[in-house]
Structure 1
């Protein structure tokens, strides 16, 4: 079983018996399964576990199967909880610390619904209010040790939003699905910048990529949304943790071209300074480099045209069949047909 606290982390924990230490770690395992977040100090975890044990009149492992709950008429006031843990768990908590019990040791347990108040409508500082285990959780505690115990927890709590999920405040955000040339899929967070990256992967590279494989993509919410570190290292690309990474990197084995692509929404075209930086960073790369700045539309392109470096390319998503070459005489000549 995971050791949530070890003797080196807490002086008071070190002074407890081996059985009590194991009991506290067992309780913390239960609480984690019940959705109680445990991201606090070892001493506070110890105190939370002991408050939990006191709320169920649990003094040893043998008491787990007989854990008391609110339906049994058992409830301890905060001062009684102090007396309980001092008596049974070798503590010396001051009798005047009852507010700390309520505000810190019991807080997460009550918020999670694992511990209930005997009189929830009473004033916050009501000294007569007691605390006891929620009968639903007490039933699970009594069966702890069964082979299917975690399955029982999942079934019993399946329709309950657990506290750790509430505190994370996770949002179900609509994602932008992107199909890579390899056939695998990525999911971007929504936004114009990521919409442009989707267009680059699905429209630019199939037209001008010569079978290019996407080796790196950064999302606005995940810098390393897609990364083929091994392939980039084979090409002797620069350090991947570097802040100068472009938005998209793709490689055409057919041409031995490495595409460094900037998706510009608010800032960041390949300017003369940016081009110099990228050239310095890729000076040992074994592939030939193609530098591309991409825009969603011509209006956005016009905002940045004065900044774009020579010897680079521009692609505009609303006109995907064309490139703008800032490459001088290399492409000078008449078009035929």
Structure 2
């Protein structure tokens, strides 16, 4: 079970940490042990997971399992010798592993007609999900079964996110080709940073900018991949590679109807660390204002692979107010870290988002 969970719930799955940890594997094991599979009319409650012991788990014959279930659900339940978890661990099993992790992804079904405050057992494995753990299923057959289950039971948004996670998480190719807004092709060394850079230019730019241009693109080791000197000169921006420049500088040239409003988007790509924090934002703002740009024509973006990735979790507390965060696996969405000089009510923000 522990080996297959990361395959069933790959990188990019929401609340993946709850779904692939040991507690999840043990929860699923207890459901199998008790025969709690959709259609069997057998159910478990969290206390059965916390009270299970290694000794009991080894007694896999039918009579031993039935006797254990009967004893665990009786009023004269014996105190287990060395339980898997402390009694107060029932909440993480119920609230994190089952309710937050497994139920939303339809891996676990809930017994109907039972009050939420009832102590009766109410959880069972969804039948299709339970079949993914068959010992007779392996290799290509296992991969196909997992993919079919994901397509059938995960939401469209979840499937899209997993696909993009796979596409932008692959480092198998010898180089990463990026197609610029003007059709030009550039190559970067393979790696997670290059894949996120590709997503920024190919996915973010056309979605969030009216008329995007790539002014600057670099990769690890400050290697300059692309630099539009003519555009930089026209904008009055001094692009000095010896200075601390971001990974990507995008420019939105707007359109005629908008009065050719120009927006310079300083972008940091974070595969491990290095987001746009307060200090980084100040440095980049100084660079632009020295070139004569109004701060209102500047934007600051930190690009990540996915919300569930460790780099984002590590960086979120550092992200500068007045900047944006974007994820290549959810290209249609953006986090706006707004800053306001005066108090703003949620009603006005809500209306602004409609």
TM-score normalised by the shorter chain: which range applies?
A: 0.3 to 0.5
TM-score computed with the length of structure 2 as normaliser = 0.44
TM-score by length of structure 1 reads 0.46
Higher RCO (CA 8 Å, separation ≥ 6 residues): 2
Larger radius of gyration: 1
